């Protein structure tokens, strides 16, 4: 392995706090999975949710399933997306990684044959539990093929080594022949095979760890006059083709994370979006600029040189629906189709961003309390996380990759909004069985009890801190991996065992003290380890030897656990 890749691996191990005794090949598998999936998916994700390497792995080291732009790892998330969007837009990412410095035809063949077998309705190769779980999700997806409204699923195959790719004709012939077998399964819109060598892998790692930045040609613009809390801002008309450069990555995927501050997700083929699409495809498409409300972009930095503008670390705070429809119809767009656009660079730590989001998104039916929950409280929570001492420091990420490019921050210490919701709902709202749900659906079920303005941030922090400490015990193998499916239940058990069964009202001062008791226990290594080991004994008493993740996701198990805990004297 070359010195640069070795250096990146060392940095990656530290960022992810992976054990020092983790085998080099397994570390490399995690590294490759992180680089590849980060290329295709802009949000935070768990390495363990991707990694499938080990015995009986069909020559696969990583599998990622993207549905409607979300990375899913459970059938519950899939079911939530089906109900929420009423369509399925699917991409499968399969990865094989080798630390060798050559591209071996035999190993590539094993990878492609294993990939074919993975998608087969009657697989012949043995498979481990992780691959079996992914296969179950594949089956459920194809059972709902009537929801493939935009296109059939796309399959992307990545074979990675630390060598150099030379376009060898023998290798290319092997690849094309075996790839054709996968295409002939008639399951996919398109099958892509990408050989990734050391140089490409290094570039992917750099890309995954940097803030997003794009340059566009923005000729028809006007600078806005001086506004308090605004460093600079422009309003104008932008060709849709230029705008697409802002919302797509190097692989022509839409960058979903750009819309994180936009409180409405893409709504699919509803009436409004169908009208937008019809205008794009009509002879009247030049009038699109007159019909559309426009796009609003809030950026960390703007740099203007002549007609070109470079935008860094930005969010689309209004225009999610327009953006997705433009993307899905990008082949129909020519230079005459333009959109109204505002680009704003705010002063550091400005609260004006929240007002911009509210003002733009109240043009369509969105409840004000939903806007508040996703803006003002989030900022308060972020500030609370910042106030904590270094030894208990976590970083609250209100938008994807917020902490990219900042040295010294371990990835495992970053808490994103979906993870925060799962931790808080599991520990305090008795929703551990629903932690595997798509986060927007989990929010729908708990919105009367989560991210409320009169909540003290300590409950959110201590639930995330407990999850952070528990994950560390799993990584160090102080707790058996068989308990991993029950980790959200373990948060709730820990609360009851450490702070007591009688939880005060979340908006009371007593609740603050209730959480402080847990925080003290979690901050002391020996007490923390003992407390979580005690939770495993409770799990043992309730599962009857069946540690399958399906058990952890049932309301029946959750109720049984609660009854048992409250019967203990």
Per-residue model confidence as pLDDT tens digits over 405-428: 677 788 889 998 889 999 999 999
Q: Is there a single domain that holds both residue 444 and residue 557?
A: yes
Number of H helices, E strands in the chain: 23, 13
The mean per-residue pLDDT over the stretch 11-26 comes to 89
**Among the ranges given (108-122, 355-369, 406-420, 536-550), the one the predictor scored with the smallest mean pLDDT:** 355-369
Total domain count, the chain: 3
Mean pLDDT, the chain, rounded, equals: 87
CA separation for the pair 225, 499 (Å, rounded): 55
Q: Is there a single domain that holds both residue 399 and residue 500?
A: yes
**Residue 432 reports pLDDT greater than 80:** yes
Last residue of a domain, one of 175, 208, 241: 208
Last residue of a domain, one of 310, 341, 366: 366
Domain assignment of residue 478, yes or no: yes
pLDDT attached to residue 349: 57
CA atoms within 13 A on the CB side of 546: 10
**Among the ranges given (26-30, 292-296, 351-355), the one the predictor scored with the smallest mean pLDDT:** 351-355
**Residue 365 reports pLDDT greater than 50:** no
The two beta strands, 308-318 and 213-217, are: antiparallel
Q: What is the DSSP letter of 527?
A: H
pLDDT attached to residue 264: 47
Last residue of a domain, one of 208, 224, 239: 208
- In this prediction the pTM is 0.77
CA separation for the pair 249, 229 (Å, rounded): 30
Looking at 365-508, list the stretches that DSSP marks H as alpha helix, in order from N- to C-terminal side.
Answer: 368-373, 376-386, 417-428, 439-446, 458-475, 487-499
pLDDT attached to residue 268: 61
CA separation for the pair 301, 213 (Å, rounded): 9
Query: What token pair was written down for 556?
Result: 């029946």
Q: How confident is the model at residue 544 (pLDDT cuts 50, 70, 90)?
A: confident
CA separation for the pair 323, 246 (Å, rounded): 10
Q: Is there a single domain that holds both residue 187 and residue 136?
A: yes
Q: Is there a single domain that holds both residue 75 and residue 201?
A: yes
pLDDT attached to residue 68: 87
Q: Which residues pair with 308 in a beta bridge?
A: 217, 305
CA separation for the pair 97, 161 (Å, rounded): 6
Domain that residue 167 falls in: 3-208
**Residue 355 reports pLDDT greater than 80:** no
Q: Is there a single domain that holds both residue 412 and residue 535?
A: yes
pLDDT attached to residue 523: 95
**Among the ranges given (325-334, 347-356, 498-507), the one the predictor scored with the smallest mean pLDDT:** 347-356
Q: Is there a single domain that holds both residue 179 and residue 62?
A: yes
pLDDT attached to residue 568: 66
Would you say 152 and 143 are in contact if contact means Cβ atoms under 8 Å apart?
Answer: no
> Who's near 548: CB < 8 A, 6+ residues apart?
485
**Residue 14 reports pLDDT greater than 50:** yes
Domain assignment of residue 372, yes or no: no
In this predicted model, what pLDDT tens digit does every residue of 470-506 receive, in sequence order? 999 998 889 999 999 999 999 999 999 999 999 999 9
- % of the chain with per-residue pLDDT over 90: 54
Q: How confident is the model at residue 372 (pLDDT cuts 50, 70, 90)?
A: very low
Domain assignment of residue 371, yes or no: no
Q: Is there a single domain that holds both residue 321 and residue 198?
A: no
CA separation for the pair 492, 432 (Å, rounded): 8
Would you say 440 and 264 are in contact if contact means Cβ atoms under 8 Å apart?
Answer: no
Q: What is the DSSP letter of 254?
A: B
Domain assignment of residue 311, yes or no: yes
Q: Is there a single domain that holds both residue 525 and residue 390?
A: yes
In this predicted model, what pLDDT tens digit does every residue of 167-178 receive, in sequence order? 889 999 999 999
Q: How confident is the model at residue 366 (pLDDT cuts 50, 70, 90)?
A: very low
Domain assignment of residue 536, yes or no: yes
Would you say 66 and 41 are in contact if contact means Cβ atoms under 8 Å apart?
Answer: yes
Domain assignment of residue 170, yes or no: yes
Q: Is there a single domain that holds both residue 498 and residue 552?
A: yes
pLDDT attached to residue 369: 39
User: What's 142's domain CATH number?
Assistant: 3.40.91
Q: Which residue bears the tokens 């002939």?
A: 184
The mean per-residue pLDDT over the stretch 386-405 comes to 85
Evaluated on CA atoms 470, 472, 478, 480, the torsion sign reads positive
Q: Is there a single domain that holds both residue 324 and residue 409?
A: no
Domain assignment of residue 373, yes or no: no
Domain assignment of residue 438, yes or no: yes
Would you say 565 and 503 are in contact if contact means Cβ atoms under 8 Å apart?
Answer: no
**Among the ranges given (208-212, 327-331, 493-497), the one the predictor scored with the smallest mean pLDDT:** 208-212
pLDDT attached to residue 27: 95
Q: How far is the first Cα of the chain from the last one, in angstroms, to the nearest whole number?
A: 58
Q: Which of 463, 488, 459 is nearest to 551 (CA)?
A: 488
Q: Is there a single domain that holds both residue 223 and residue 342?
A: yes
Q: Is there a single domain that holds both residue 277 and residue 406?
A: no
Strand, coil or helix: what is 263? coil
**Residue 371 reports pLDDT greater than 50:** no
**DSSP states of 108-175:** HHHHHHHHHHHH-SS--S---HHHHHHHHHHHHHHHTGGG--S---EEEEEEE-SS-----HHHHHHH
The mean per-residue pLDDT over the stretch 108-112 comes to 96
């Amino acid at each position: 392995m070359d010195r640069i890749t070795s250096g990146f691996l060392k940095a990656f191990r530290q960022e992810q706090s992976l054990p020092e005794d983790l085998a080099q090949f397994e570390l490399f598998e995690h590294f490759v999975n992180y680089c590849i999936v980060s290329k295709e998916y802009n949000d935070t994700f768990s390495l363990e949710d991707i990694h499938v390497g080990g015995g009986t792995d069909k020559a696969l080291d990583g599998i990622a399933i993207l549905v409607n732009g979300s990375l899913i790892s459970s059938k519950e998330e899939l079911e939530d997306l089906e109900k929420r969007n009423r369509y399925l837009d699917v991409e499968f990412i399969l990865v094989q990684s080798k630390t060798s410095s050559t591209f071996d035809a035999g190993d590539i063949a094993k990878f492609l044959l294993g990939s074919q077998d993975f998608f087969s309705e009657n697989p012949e190769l043995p498979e481990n539990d992780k691959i079996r779980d992914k296969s179950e999700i594949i089956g459920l997806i194809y059972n709902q093929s009537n929801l493939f409204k935009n296109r059939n699923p796309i399959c992307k195959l990545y074979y990675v080594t630390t060598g150099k790719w030379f376009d060898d004709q023998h290798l290319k012939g092997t690849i094309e022949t075996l790839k054709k077998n996968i295409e002939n399964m008639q399951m996919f819109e398109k099958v892509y095979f990408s050989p990734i060598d050391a140089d490409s892998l290094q570039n992917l790692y750099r890309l995954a760890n940097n803030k997003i930045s794009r340059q566009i040609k923005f000729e028809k613009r006007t600078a806005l006059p001086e506004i308090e809390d605004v460093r600079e801002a422009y309003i104008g008309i932008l060709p849709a083709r230029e705008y697409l450069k802002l919302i797509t990555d190097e692989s022509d995927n839409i960058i979903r994370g750009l819309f994180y501050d936009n409180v409405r997700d893409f709504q699919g083929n509803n009436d409004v979006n169908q009208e937008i699409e019809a205008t794009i495809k009509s002879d009247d498409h030049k009038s699109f600029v007159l019909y559309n409300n426009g796009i609003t972009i809030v950026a960390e930095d703007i740099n203007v040189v002549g007609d070109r503008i470079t935008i860094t670390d930005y969010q689309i705070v209004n225009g999610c629906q327009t953006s997705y429809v433009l993307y899905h119809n990008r082949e129909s767009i020519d230079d005459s189709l333009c959109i109204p656009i505002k680009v704003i660079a705010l002063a550091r730590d400005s609260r004006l961003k929240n007002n911009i989001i509210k003002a733009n998104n109240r043009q369509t039916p969105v409840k004000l309390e939903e806007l508040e929950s996703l803006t003002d409280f989030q900022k308060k929570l972020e500030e609370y996380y910042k106030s904590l001492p270094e030894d208990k420091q976590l970083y609250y990420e209100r938008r994807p990759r917020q902490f990219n490019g900042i040295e010294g921050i371990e990835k495992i210490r970053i808490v994103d909004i979906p993870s925060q919701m799962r931790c808080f709902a599991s520990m305090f709202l008795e929703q551990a069985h629903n932690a595997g749900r798509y986060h927007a659906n989990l929010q729908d079920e708990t919105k009367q009890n989560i991210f409320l303005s009169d909540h003290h941030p300590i409950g959110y922090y201590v639930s995330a801190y407990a999850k952070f400490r528990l994950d560390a015990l799993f990584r160090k193998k102080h707790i058996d991996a068989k308990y991993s499916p029950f980790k959200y239940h373990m948060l709730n058990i820990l609360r009851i065992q450490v702070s007591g069964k009688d939880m005060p009202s979340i908006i009371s001062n007593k609740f603050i003290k209730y959480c402080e008791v847990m925080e003290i226990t979690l901050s002391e290594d020996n007490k923390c380890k003992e407390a979580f080991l005690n939770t495993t004994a409770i799990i043992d008493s309730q599962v009857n030897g069946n540690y399958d993740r399906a058990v952890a996701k049932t309301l029946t198990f959750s109720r049984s656990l609660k009854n048992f805990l409250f019967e203990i004297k």
